[in-house]
Structures are given as C-alpha cells and as structure tokens.
A and B are shown apart, each in its own frame.
Chain A
Amino acid sequence: MTDDLLTRLLGPADPELGCEACFDELDRYVEVELAGDDADAAVPGMRPHLSGCPACAEEHESLRDLVAGQT
C-alpha cells in the first residue's frame, strides 16, 4: 500500500518520455517487446513513462494484448 502510494506520488526516478512521444513510439515498442527483444533499450524512457502514467500504461497493455492475440 505505502510503496504503491509512493510510486504514484513520486513517479519514476529515471528519465521518461512524455505522453506524445510515448504514443509515437508505442507500436514499435510493442512489436519489439512481443518479438522478445529488449524493448526498453529500443525505446529509452518508455518503461519509466508507463510506470508513471496510468492512461498510457492502459493503452500499452491493450495494444500489446491485441497484437499478441493476432500473431
């Protein structure tokens, strides 16, 4: 509970993308991720943003699951 609260209040410690850049890179990030490659190296700043932005995290999960279900 407290750790989760701290995460939500303080956000990611590492440098992150903004929402716009996250949307721009989301399709590439998901495909790299589903290919089993290092998506966080391919798109630096994406993982911290997804941990700090619930809306972008939801959209990432949706795209990942949708594409995973069709390949």
Chain B
Amino acid sequence: MKVTYYPGCSLEGTAKDYAESIIGICSSLDIELEEVPDWNCCGATAAHSIDHRASIELAVRTLNLAAQMPYQDMLVPCPMCFNRLKTAAFVPEGDYKDRYDIKLEASLPKIWDLANFFATKEMLEVVAKHVQKPLVGLKVVCYYGCMANRPPEITEATDFEDPQSMDRIIQNLGGTAVPWPYKTDCCGASQVLSRPDIVSQLVGKLYDMAQRVGAQAIVVSCQMCQANLDMYQRKIGAEWGRRFSLPVYFFSELIGIAIDVKGVKKWLSRHITDPFSLLRGLDLMNRR
C-alpha cells in the first residue's frame, strides 16, 4: 500500500522519535510512505493567530502539491498540521472562498489523522496479524489533545468529546486503555515557551488524573502534547509538590514494541521521562 505522507516540521526535529517510529512500523506493515515533494510548514498556531490569510495560503500550497500525487490517502501524524490542512481543504465550500485569492486543486487526497488511520478496522486487523509481543499488563490512558478532533466540522470527527482511536489501537495490541475524563483537555501547546505557568496548570492536572485512574503511562498521537508531558514532567511535578513518573509514549512506538520492530530502543532513548523501566518491568523489553 502506498500513501502520501506529510510529516510536518517538528518530525524533522524535536519529534524525531515519532518520525522514526512511524517509518519503522510502516515499513514492517508494508505501507510505503511517499513525502509530498517540497512541502512547506502549515503555519501552525502562529499563522492562524496573527495572519489568517497566510495560515490558509501556506496549507493550500502543500495541498496543491499533494494533489499531484497519485495516491488516495495522505497521512498526517501531527494533529496541528492535520487541522490546518483540513481547514484549508474546506476553503472552496466555506466562508473564505472569495476572500483570499486561492486556487485549490479539486483532486485532493483524503487527509488522515495518523491515529485515526491506524484505528480503522482494516488497519487494526493488519496490525493484529503482526503482533508478536502483546502489551499484556500495560495500563495506559490515551490522551488525544485538541487538534485531531476539534472543531468537528473541520476534523470530521464524530466522537470528539470521547475519541476512541488510540484506545482501540492499544486494546488491539493487548494493552489496557483505562477510561478517563481528560482525553481532550488542552495541554497548552506552544504556551510552554511563552506562558509555562499555564502549561504547568494544565499538564499537572493531566498527570494527577492519570495517576488517580491507575495508569502507568500516557499514550499520545501529538508531538506537541508529547513534548509538554514528557519534557517538563519533573519540573511540573516539583511545581505541584508531587512526583510523577509517567512515561509518555507515541501510539506508534507502542505498535512498534508489539510488532517487534527494530529500532524501538533508539526511538525511546530520545524521551526525557524514563520510558524503559516500565517496559522492562512488564517484560516488554529485555534488560540489557
């Protein structure tokens, strides 16, 4: 199976672990990823916050490049990029169609949030066939954040208040996804740089609840959520007067562990909060 792939800027940098795990599992599952040639930044929060025209035009440029590719599906791992591309894809039928001078190709591929792609019935079956090390004993909460689901008229999500994609993926791998109430509560995203105090409040609340429901780890599909929950865990813990030790895995990394892809250790070694002890304790990773 061949698909169009739009990795987005952070997967070339701070989210290398996410990028490597996606490439790793896709090659094991015979999914060939072909990058949109010469893709550009989607503009992210910065563009839609202070330059709306640019936020649409940036995404339209990438979409038009993607339209020239022969594949039906385009996988987008970053929920922020996904959200911006979806927003732009709705331009021809939306309120902005006459406002900006935008020509959007008609033959766009289907834009997939990566977690939703892996949670389709077909993909769950494909992955299930490859599982070699079921995630038995691993109890996690799935944290979806904002952009893959909201607003639903853009994302076309139907279960936006209680999304299920990652929960299904984890159960399919033999793990336990514990229900919890903060699946779609915001982590503060880029405010980690400009207002770290806000992020401390928002993320501390997530850790607290994850622990209360008995989760051993948090699973995410967004590199911004991963960064905020993983990189600042010790600092936020100190600010809350608590000690949290909750590894924050990308769902793709857990698929990689379960289907036993080479390179898992390398991906995980890029994390800040210790991702190994828990897995070793559950015999999901050897003790070398």
The reply to whether chain A is a binding partner of chain B is no
The chain B residues found within 8 Å of chain A, CB to CB, are none
Interface residue ranges, A against B (CB under 8 Å): none
